[in-house]
Structure 1
Amino acid sequence: MTKFKINSLLLPMKGHYFLYNGGTAPVVPFMPVFAKQLGFSSVVVGTLYTVLPIAGMVAKPLFGGLADRLKWHKKLFMFFLALTGILFFLINFTPNANEGKVGPGVDLDCGAVTLFKTCNVTDNCALTRLLVYAGNGTVDCHIDCPEVVGSEWNEELCKQWGLSQYCKSNADHPMVFDAKVPLAHTEQIENCIYFRVQTAIFEEKSVIPYCNAQISTSNCHVTCKEPVVNEVLHVRTEEASAKSWSFIYFAFLMLTSWISMAVVVSIGDAICFELLGSKPANYGKQRVWGSVGWGIFSVLAGFLVDEFSQGRTEKDYSVVFYMCLIILSVDFLFCTRLKVSHTQMSASIVHDIGRLLSQLRINIFLLWCITVGLSTGLLWGFLFWHLEELAAAQGCSSLEWIKTLEGLVMGVQCFGGELPFFFISSWVLKKIGHIHAMSMVLFGFGLRFFLYFWLVDPWWVLPIELLNGVTFGIFYATMASYASKIAPPGTEATVQGLVGAVFEGIGVSLGSLIGGLMFQKIGGANTFLAFSIMSWVLFCLHVVVQFFMQRATPNEWQQQQEEVKEFAMTAMYASPQDAIQMLDEQPDDLSRR
């Protein structure tokens, strides 16, 4: 009987993958909808997510080469690991793009009591939250009426409110003061909401505001310290300028954190392969713990965001940033135990590209990677955006659990789709071959996007996410292993780098940009319908092209099919969400774990 033995040398690496992916899982999937809440449009977000994959693609070989030259693999790895946690945590403090923006003017009425009212409430959910919240104490507000006109206000402010600055002349004066507003007196009359001003404070002088005559003024701006009130008073501008300080801060942190993540992944994987030594195919047994960490903590993060956001007008994402900082801090401590001697990394992904691109089958394969990247970019950037729009259409209560649902989406994608299909991908490729698997991925994306188009109740997205096994699990296994077989001798690393570059740097980037533009122009459902049609058209085109290639070169086709079937029988497929590197396993490698 074989005794199971844990390899202590690889234990810190397993822990790193689990903790690193678990630490980034609470933040990365929610960034597009977090940006939406900050006030950025789908076009702005899509443009940002066009740049991020390119920056990561450039950073990997750049810092990989630097690590090789200076022999600083662990130093750079640890530095960027710490930097990733810090940068993500700082995103939590991004100012809302709509902060300081006032909505339409409200009316201020003075008589036996002083009231301000708004009749511009268009968000029924905001109104419902306010009326439920009403009665919870007194709110501090700031009232600014820049256009107080006539002697009536001056006389009342001078005689009844005792404010000498309004007694000096009959000239028009702005009226600016702080107010105590008891929410228990909030009242809805027809389409208007009335708030009572209990106390007015002018330069630290408190007065009880009442007037002998019934007077009013319009175009006052009111800002309160309670978001549930501001949500009713203010009309939010969903599109914020990309030149705003808020966006510059957010974009800078996103860009630098993306670069940090790319470097951690690149050098971390190289360290892992160096620890594996002559058994590189066991990489999958280490990397699978990253998928487990991602699935667990993404579900937990979604639930916690909803829990900490109860009674709030907007989702409170601060818990996910603290989760990220804490988990990555533990990961940093875990990685101090990594034993690294010297790791060789390739810093070049473009060597011999001219010779490779002269081959038709490689060009077709790269085009397939780009088309799948387009769909993946839309999915990563705007699925949650679409779900939140569907939840809002379902009613106010639906938004209370939307983050829990988004966390469950990530869990189903990981445990229900990704992991099972990675385990059976070898069997699938053995049965149908890589070419048919490529076609299946395109068809799977078409079906997945078509179901998103028909989706009404956002909860029904969960069974749809099982298709992630085809569109992600089968895709990555097919892409990485097929690339390793078609690469001419001596260009294996080049092809793997090229595949990753065209998928992320071209496909995902363009998918984010096009998806953002289409979301704004035609809406989420129609965008997914358009991408569904595109995927099915590409599926048909791929089948036709491969059919004619098979007829044109039958001997080469048959030899290639035998090779990939043989490869599928021995390959160990990892979950290369961040790294694309698949290597054959030798028969005597099966004993080491």
Structure 2
Amino acid sequence: MVTEQKQSAGEWGQNSGQPQQTTTFSWLPACVNRKLLPFKLHYFLFIAGEAGVGPYIAVVGRQNGIGPATMAVIFAVMPLTAVVFKPICGFIIDKTRNVTAVILVLQVLCTLFYGIAFFCPSAISNGAVFKGHLGCPLGEFDVTGSSGSEECASGSSVSLYCTLSSGKHAWEAMEARLVSEKKVMLTNASNACNDLREDVLLANGSLGFPSEVRCSCESALYRNSNFWIYTVSAVLGFALAAALNNVGDAAVSNALGSDINAFGRQRLFGTLSYGMASPLIGYLVDISSSEGFTNYKPCFYVFAACMALDMVLILCLPRMRIADVSVNFFGDIGKLLSSPEILLFTVFTFLAGSMIGFLNSFETWFLEDLGTPTYLIGLTKTVQCFGAEPVLFFLSTYILERIGYFYSYSVAFALFACKALGYSFLRNVWGSLAVNIVGGAVFPMVYAAMAVFAKKRARPGTAASMVCILGAMYDGLGSAAGSLIGGTSVDRIGARQTFLYLGCLSVASTVLCALCYLMLRFTTVHKLDVTREQTKTSTLQGGCCCDATKLSLKSDIDMLQLRLPKN
């Protein structure tokens, strides 16, 4: 573990009127930075827990009878709710300076709502029940009788989301289309047909099986209380987790102080834990599932255990506070958002968030449609987290100093294009491992640049709010747009074609981000804006402590270096 040797300019409890306690960890080697170790452990536990809920909350909804179009709306509402939560949390922290209380409350509520979402009963129970025979290999279901919702059991071209059962076998989360009142077409019945192939052979040479199909449709779904329990719980759980993530980032940024470029080294431990936890979660899901039914409850058990350990860690630490308080809080935030540089960075943060948001929402969905085993889905996360991602988090300080924030975004868009286009041509599920070696480089390029940019451009006392505002654009509005537009596209043209178009959009974004920054860099308006901001910063920091002055000077030097022509 590399030692970050610079002293923190924003230690917890500084100027708070309380003596600063220390956590010694005296049994550790001297090369370990004991002061920053708790933050590494926080990321390790929190992100490991996220590996249990983030990739699986969508497929839990599909298991409960929710189709891709409806799920796209839900995943659009999730980040929009987070947009409201994040600035509120940032404002509370900046005004009260009590980070510990905010983190603990968010952890408890997040665990509660995710638990409700994972244990919510299926919404299929109030749909339609069809009895008849399944014809293989085409997946045609000849209906001999039906009961339940008339809306789902009548009419043509009605989209259904069903559970098929035949004898001792059962298959969940099957998409179907009601062709007529006497025929249902199952679109992904190949697994069911393969499992039942030896059971019955009809005289005409085709395969037919006496079966039962329980389905839900959108018109009946919205009147089902289980659907709303899942939706509200999943939305609140996601929003609280997103806010918790940004609050943790603000806390670590404050603790690092003038050594903010080392942020990626702290976040690296979350990447490692995500990679370690993902295959374990996939294995637990596989061994707890039965034939035709996938049990996703172990995902929540891992999340709850990690949250409990993280809460114990937070309680064992000294109370965390932020020292600086803005005298004119809303005025400072307004001046920040009026900067052309910050506005442009915010726009591309939104675009990056929309792409990554779609990936987070529908990547597991796509891989399951390809027939990928759950353990292999977990293994793709491991490859992603132990491939390029930890290396880039560790080298984020060097990368940001060399190419800056905007070019980091351009590289991230190019890497995302490789992943999206790779998925669009994927045929062998094992090929997803190769795709994610490159795809693992996207997140650290975006996240480290966003966190460091927010800290360096924030005025004193507004750092937490600045982090939360960019976070709201990243996995708030951006993720909402990506989930809504991408989910609608998946429903209409399929996931494979959606990834193809997304890859082309990423290529265009790569060029656009670099060109926009070059234009901004050499415009008179931007240069005047930078000069004005540097003058105000020097005036504000004139009477502060030495560490605060170093932070201001370091930011000015970094800004000037970005404007020097590179050979």
> TM-score of the superposition, structure 1-length normalised?
0.66
Residue 534 (structure 1) aligned with residue 505 (structure 2): yes
Deviates further, 333-342 or 372-381: 333-342
Query: How far 1:234 sits from its partner (Å)?
Result: 0.7
How many residues are matched?
459
Query: How far 1:33 sits from its partner (Å)?
Result: 1.8
Structure 1 pair 440/314, CA: closer, same or farther in 2 (3 Å)? Answer: same
CA distances 1:236-270 after superposition (whole Å, capped 9, x unpaired): 44757344222211112112323432454355455
**Of the candidates 398, 422, 431, which is equivalent to residue 451 of structure 1?**
422
1:82-481 alignment runs, 5 A limit: 82-106=108-132, 122=186, 123-130=189-196, 191=206, 193=208, 232-234=211-213, 236-237=215-216, 241-269=221-249, 272=252, 284-309=264-289, 311-340=290-319, 342-343=321-322, 351-352=331-332, 354-391=334-371, 399=372, 401=373, 403-481=374-452
The answer to whether the 8 A contact 1:45-1:516 is kept is yes
Q: Which has the larger radius of gyration?
A: 1
**Of the candidates 104, 112, 128, which is equivalent to residue 78 of structure 1?**
104
The answer to whether the 8 A contact 1:291-1:419 is kept is yes
The answer to whether the 8 A contact 2:74-2:231 is kept is yes
The answer to whether the 8 A contact 1:480-1:582 is kept is no
Structure 2 counterpart SS, 1:481: helix
Q: Which residue matches 1:575?
A: none
Partner AA of 2:51 in structure 1: A
Query: How far 1:333 sits from its partner (Å)?
Result: 3.2
Structure 1, unaligned runs of 5 or more = 109-114, 135-185, 196-231, 392-398, 564-580, 586-593
The answer to whether the 8 A contact 1:65-1:346 is kept is no
CA distance in 1, matches of 2:54, 2:497: 25
Q: Which residue matches 1:146?
A: none
Structure 1 pair 346/540, CA: closer, same or farther in 2 (3 Å)? Answer: same
Q: Which residue matches 1:524?
A: 495
Partner AA of 1:128 in structure 2: N
CA distance in 1, matches of 2:260, 2:226: 45
Partner AA of 1:129 in structure 2: D
The answer to whether the 8 A contact 1:64-1:345 is kept is no
Aligned residues with identical type, % of pairs: 27
CA distance in 1, matches of 2:432, 2:43: 28
Query: How far 1:343 sits from its partner (Å)?
Result: 4.1
The answer to whether the 8 A contact 2:264-2:397 is kept is no
The answer to whether the 8 A contact 1:440-1:470 is kept is no
Query: How far 1:84 sits from its partner (Å)?
Result: 2.7
Residue 21 (structure 1) aligned with residue 47 (structure 2): yes
Structure 1 pair 362/268, CA: closer, same or farther in 2 (3 Å)? Answer: closer
Structure 1 pair 542/18, CA: closer, same or farther in 2 (3 Å)? Answer: closer
Structure 1 pair 381/313, CA: closer, same or farther in 2 (3 Å)? Answer: same
The answer to whether the 8 A contact 1:17-1:289 is kept is yes
Deviates further, 233-242 or 333-342: 233-242
Structure 1 pair 366/8, CA: closer, same or farther in 2 (3 Å)? Answer: closer
Structure 2, unaligned runs of 5 or more = 4-28, 133-143, 146-165, 168-181, 535-550, 556-567
Q: Which residue matches 2:74?
A: 48
CA distance in 1, matches of 2:552, 2:432: 31
Structure 2 counterpart SS, 1:314: coil
The answer to whether the 8 A contact 1:9-1:275 is kept is no
Structure 1 counterpart SS, 2:121: coil
CA distance in 1, matches of 2:401, 2:260: 21
CA distance in 2, matches of 1:412, 1:280: 28
Q: Which residue matches 1:163?
A: none
1:496-507 alignment runs, 5 A limit: 496-507=467-478
* Cα root mean square deviation, aligned: 4.0
CA distance in 2, matches of 1:366, 1:260: 22
CA distance in 1, matches of 2:411, 2:247: 33
Deviates further, 458-467 or 96-105: 96-105
The answer to whether the 8 A contact 1:88-1:254 is kept is yes
Deviates further, 529-538 or 425-434: 425-434
CA distance in 2, matches of 1:426, 1:280: 9
Q: Which residue matches 2:163?
A: none
Structure 2 counterpart SS, 1:373: helix
CA distances 1:344-393 after superposition (whole Å, capped 9, x unpaired): 587999644554454433333222112212211111111111112222xx
CA distances 1:69-121 after superposition (whole Å, capped 9, x unpaired): 6776434433432333333233232222222544434359xxxxxx99x9978
Deviates further, 511-520 or 289-298: 289-298
CA distance in 1, matches of 2:453, 2:102: 32
Structure 1 pair 375/119, CA: closer, same or farther in 2 (3 Å)? Answer: closer
Structure 1 pair 92/272, CA: closer, same or farther in 2 (3 Å)? Answer: same
Structure 1 counterpart SS, 2:124: coil
Structure 1 pair 349/61, CA: closer, same or farther in 2 (3 Å)? Answer: farther
Query: How far 1:296 sits from its partner (Å)?
Result: 1.0
The answer to whether the 8 A contact 2:106-2:240 is kept is yes
The answer to whether the 8 A contact 1:68-1:343 is kept is yes
Query: How far 1:549 sits from its partner (Å)?
Result: 4.2
CA distance in 1, matches of 2:507, 2:34: 48
The answer to whether the 8 A contact 1:422-1:473 is kept is yes
Query: How far 1:36 sits from its partner (Å)?
Result: 1.7
